[in-house]
Chains A and B, each alone.
Chain A
Amino acid sequence: AQSVAQPEDQVNVAEGNPLTVKCTYSVSGNPYLFWYVQYPNRGLQFLLKYITGDNLVKGSYGFEAEFNKSQTSFHLKKPSALVSDSALYFCAVRSPSGTYKYIFGTGTRLKVLA
């Protein structure tokens, strides 16, 4: 069965420091992996995805994520955090075969402190 784990409910980081939001997954076959961000009272916004190819993918707003097959991880990173990055971040996974169902993690709240 597919699953996604975001082990941290909340991550605090000082503005200007690098940030990491963790995600691990379990899926049969090669996964399709996604990161979304949700600001208060808004829908989820797509940030970046890994489908195939280079393990380091770059997305919107300076975010990037590294696909690590051996560790079944897809951590979200940014070299220098901004206060405006404070939001709820979701990792999602989909198996490339069979169902088109996406499994979302429980979300990690990122707080960037000025």
Chain B
Amino acid sequence: DAGVIQSPRHEVTEMGQEVTLRCKPISGHDYLFWYRQTMMRGLELLIYFNNNVPIDDSGMPEDRFSAKMPNASFSTLKIQPSEPRDSAVYFCASSFSTESSYEQYFGPGTRLTVT
């Protein structure tokens, strides 16, 4: 299995531009999570989906952030408009909800720099 795939790996954009981050979870996993990691705030959960349905988006910082999961193999996190304080590493993770599982598998992350 290729693991969780994220693209792009690096994104540099100017303030005010729209940014779209992409994630392909591990096949068969029914949960998908988006996290943001910064030095100041550590690892923050932004939103998670179960069977493509958003369950908890209480961590989404502002209306500028939106996430979708149109099917079981693809999710996007969009920031519009982007701001310098959005600069961070964004991780996607997936998991399978069985009694013997529950652990999350993380992608390599997207390093976003907003100038």
Binding site for B on A (CB under 8 A): 32, 34, 36, 41-46, 49, 51, 90, 94, 99-102, 104, 106-107
**Interface residues as binary, B1-16 with A (CB distance below 8 Å gives 1, 0 otherwise):** 0001000000000000
CB of B65 within 8 A of chain A? no
Binding site for A on B (CB under 8 A): 4, 31, 33, 42-43, 45, 48, 50, 55-56, 91, 93, 97, 99-100, 102-109
**Given A43-B108, A43-B109, A46-B103, A107-B48 contact (CB < 8 Å):** no
| Alpha-carbon gap, A45 to B33, bound state (A) | 15
**Given A43-B91, A107-B42, A100-B50 contact (CB < 8 Å):** yes
Most buried by A among B4, B93, B103, B104: B103
* Shortest beta-carbon distance from A3 to chain B in Å: 13
Please determine whether A100 and B31 come into contact, CB atoms closer than 8 angstroms. yes
| Alpha-carbon gap, A42 to B108, bound state (A) | 5
- 5 closest residue pairs by CB, A with B: A43-B106, A44-B106, A46-B103, A104-B43, A106-B42
Provide the residues of chain B in CB contact with A36, threshold 8 Å.
Answer: 106
Closest chain B residue to A96, Cβ basis? B102
